[in-house]
């Protein structure tokens, strides 16, 4: 960034949260291009984000082909000389945040896959609620049978009864909509950071939002209203008034099918939640190949008193190292936990037809490797003598493989580069620069202490508050006029898993809601079944059946749908979570125990749900049950 004084010529509104880029100020790029580093060779810099506003009717693919001529005009000869190919690729602005897989985006992207998963989960919850309402409505049919028979005997037509039940269902659905909106508003107030959304309600102005909402609400009205209405209005009035109550209201097999669907969705969510938590635990427990504990990172100063950044940094490092609470200090262009934006294509020199390999470039000083406890496999570390290592590099194990070296020893003193050859003086073991979602990439370390954005301080003290106060005082004395911005590296690294942790939390809550609604459906079926079998239970008890045998008899019928749900949910969950794990370079195995635990948990919850009504039915006095026979 070009230095100097600037005049404020305008003020713009804050960038909305739903933007793929956020910034505090802008200035004309013409001022930046006056910097000496862009005077020659500016076409080789890829550190810019270029936005194009296309004219109406312009085809992006056709424009991409035309842009190849611009590259040929400016650097075509140089690219052919070094056997490098470059192209311009256009992507729609609206697709960047959720759909882009391009490296070095201006901000961390979201994942459309997570959005799809949450949409599916939300729809599953809705379906479970609808099916549960159908199940309970048809199960209650026996209680309303006499009402229906009496209405029909008094002249009510079937369509009038259907309309009555539909209006009742619509009323319940509307009440649910208003309660849901209220709960959402409460959640926004109580958990704003957890939900991570804005409170401007701009989505209410989006026609697509209303179209989807009205479609879902209408679908809920239809599914939960029409079937119960037609079933309940079909009772025969003469049979009902004679005392022959329908024993198969809505069809017992249909109600059990609804319970199977509900528990299938619930068990699916339980398995998904368990797998996601297992993956998070797996990633957080892996050896990173470096030490990030007790590491405090401070943003490097941008305002210096002298022209020598290196001398100022060394002065600051010496002051800190005089304190017993500081173990080491290092300067680097990036720190673990974030993407390395500086990339370059390098090849092996003195090798015929050597291919260029895309490498991440990391500018470090001589204390970087020991500060992070990165294992040196061969060769040596950088020297404090800048002249010694001005043309030297250190590579990691992934770069060693990319360049085709047979061993770490073979790579030492070999030359790599693109224009100017650099000698390899050391090879270090791979470490996870980013989360375990991404694989290790080739990294080339260069000894450039002045090209540093961060200062990492390795602390000895277990009292961070005292250390921070000491660091801030020394930083402000060494670099007056600079803001003291810091973070702990372990917290910074773990933030890469925030979206997955939030997804696990959401699925966990959704699983609880789903299993709760499914249990209500199962309880409704238990109430209906025990009521229909009251006299059967009484006869069994008169003939000597024990309470335990009656409870077992009733519970067995209720557990069959749950067992079927386990059989259906397990392969679905395995397929879905195998697909989800494909996004991770390092992933856990989906263990059989996960399905067993989910199955046992579902059966246990179902047993607790139905046992209350089963035990009550088994303990009921058989004389009262058989009275009137």
In this structure, of 19-28, 150-159, 441-450, the range with the lowest mean pLDDT score is: 150-159
Q: So what's the pLDDT on residue 212?
A: 82
Range in 120-134, 312-326, 530-544, 615-629 the model is least confident about: 615-629
Nearest to 367, CA basis, from 278, 454, 265: 454
Per-residue pLDDT reduced to its tens digit, 450-472 = 888 899 999 987 677 778 888 88
Q: What is the pLDDT of residues 117-170, one digit of tens each?
A: 778 878 878 877 777 777 676 666 556 666 666 666 777 777 777 777 778 777
Of 181-185, 282-286, 525-529, which range is least confident? 525-529
Residue 556 has pLDDT above 90, yes or no: no
Question: Helix, strand or coil for residue 384?
Answer: coil
Choose among 335, 323, 577: nearest CA to 455.
335
Q: Rounded to whole angstroms, how far apart are CA atoms 559 and 522?
A: 9
111 falls in which pLDDT band (50, 70, 90)? confident
Q: What is the pLDDT of residues 61-106, one digit of tens each?
A: 888 888 878 877 877 777 776 666 677 888 888 888 877 767 667 7
Cα separation, 464 vs 565, in Å, equals 52
How many helices (DSSP H) and strands (DSSP E) are in the chain? 21, 11
193 pLDDT tier (thresholds 50, 70, 90): low
Averaged pLDDT score across all residues of the chain? 79
DSSP letter assigned to residue 107: S
Please tell me which residue, 77 or 629, carries the higher pLDDT value: 77
Question: H or E element: which one contains 296?
Answer: strand 295-299
Q: Which of the pair, 27 or 427, is modelled with greater confidence?
A: 427
Q: What is the pLDDT of residues 399-421, one digit of tens each?
A: 999 999 999 999 999 999 877 88
Instruction: Kindly tell me if the per-residue pLDDT of 1 is higher than 60.
Output: no
Backbone angles phi, psi at 197, to 5 degrees: -140, 165
- pLDDT band at residue 352, thresholds of 50, 70 and 90? low
**% the chain with pLDDT above 70:** 76
CB 172 within 8 A of CB 133: yes
Q: Is the pLDDT of residue 533 over 70?
A: no
């Amino acid at each position: 960034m070009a230095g100097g004084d600037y005049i404020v010529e305008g003020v713009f509104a804050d960038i909305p949260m739903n933007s793929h880029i956020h910034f505090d100020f802008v200035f004309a790029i013409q001022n930046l291009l006056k910097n000496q580093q862009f005077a020659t060779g500016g076409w080789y810099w890829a550190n810019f984000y270029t936005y194009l506003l296309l004219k109406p009717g312009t085809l992006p693919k056709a424009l991409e082909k035309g842009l190849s001529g611009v590259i040929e005009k400016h650097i075509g000869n140089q690219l052919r000389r070094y056997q490098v190919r470059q192209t311009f690729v256009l992507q729609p602005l609206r697709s960047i945040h959720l759909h882009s897989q391009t490296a070095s985006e201006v901000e961390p992207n979201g994942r459309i896959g997570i959005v799809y998963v949450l949409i599916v989960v939300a729809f599953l919850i809705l379906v479970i609620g609808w099916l549960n309402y159908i199940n309970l409505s048809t199960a209650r049919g026996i209680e309303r049978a006499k009402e229906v028979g009496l209405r029909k005997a008094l002249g009510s037509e079937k369509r009038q009864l259907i309309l009555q039940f539909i209006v009742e269902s619509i009323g319940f659905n509307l009440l649910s909509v208003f309660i849901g909106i209220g709960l959402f508003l409460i959640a926004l107030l109580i958990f704003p950071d957890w939900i991570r959304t804005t409170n401007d309600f701009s989505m209410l102005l989006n026609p697509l939002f209303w179209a989807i909402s009205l479609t879902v609400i209408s679908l809920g009205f239809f599914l939960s209203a029409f079937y119960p209405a037609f079933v309940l209005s079909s009772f025969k009035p003469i049979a009902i008034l004679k005392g022959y109550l329908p024993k198969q209201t809505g069809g017992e097999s249909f109600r059990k099918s609804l319970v199977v669907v509900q528990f299938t969705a619930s068990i699916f969510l339980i398995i998904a939640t368990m797998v996601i938590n297992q993956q998070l635990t797996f990633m957080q427990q892996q050896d990173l190949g470096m030490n990030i504990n007790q590491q405090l990172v401070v943003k490097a100063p941008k305002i210096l008193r002298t022209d020598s950044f290196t001398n100022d940094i060394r002065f600051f490092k010496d002051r800190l190292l005089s304190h017993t609470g500081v173990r080491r200090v290092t300067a680097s262009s990036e720190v673990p936990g974030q993407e390395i934006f500086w990339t370059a294509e390098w090849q092996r020199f003195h090798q015929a037809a050597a291919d260029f390999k895309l490498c991440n470039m990391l500018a470090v000083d001589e204390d970087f490797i020991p500060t992070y406890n990165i294992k040196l496999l061969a060769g040596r570390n950088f020297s404090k003598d800048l002249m010694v290592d001005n043309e030297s590099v250190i590579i990691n194990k992934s770069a060693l493989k990319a360049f085709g070296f047979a061993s770490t020893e073979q790579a030492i003193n070999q030359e790599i580069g693109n224009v100017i050859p650099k000698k390899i003086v050391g090879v270090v073991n791979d470490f996870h620069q980013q989360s375990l979602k991404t694989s290790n990439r080739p990294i080339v370390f260069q000894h450039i202490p002045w090209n540093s954005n961060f200062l990492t301080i390795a602390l000895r003290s277990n009292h961070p508050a005292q250390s921070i106060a000491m660091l801030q005082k020394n930083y402000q004395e060494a670099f007056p006029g600079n803001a003291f911005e810091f973070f702990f590296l372990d917290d910074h690294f773990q933030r890469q898993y925030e979206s997955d942790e939030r997804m696990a939390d959401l699925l966990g809550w959704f699983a609880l809601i789903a299993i709760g609604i499914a249990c209500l459906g199962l309880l409704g079926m238990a109430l209906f079944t025990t009521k229909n079998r009251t006299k059967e239970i009484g006869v069994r008890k008169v003939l000597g059946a024990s309470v335990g045998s009656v409870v077992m008899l009733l519970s067995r019928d209720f557990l069959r749908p749950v067992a079927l749900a386990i059989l259906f949910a397990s392969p679905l969950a395995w397929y879905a979570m195998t697909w989800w794990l494909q996004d991770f370079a390092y992933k856990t195995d989906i263990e059989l125990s996960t399905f067993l635990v989910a199955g046992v948990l579902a059966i246990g919850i179902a047993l607790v749900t139905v046992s209350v009504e089963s035990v009550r039915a088994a303990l009921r006095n058989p004389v009262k049950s058989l009275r009137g026979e």
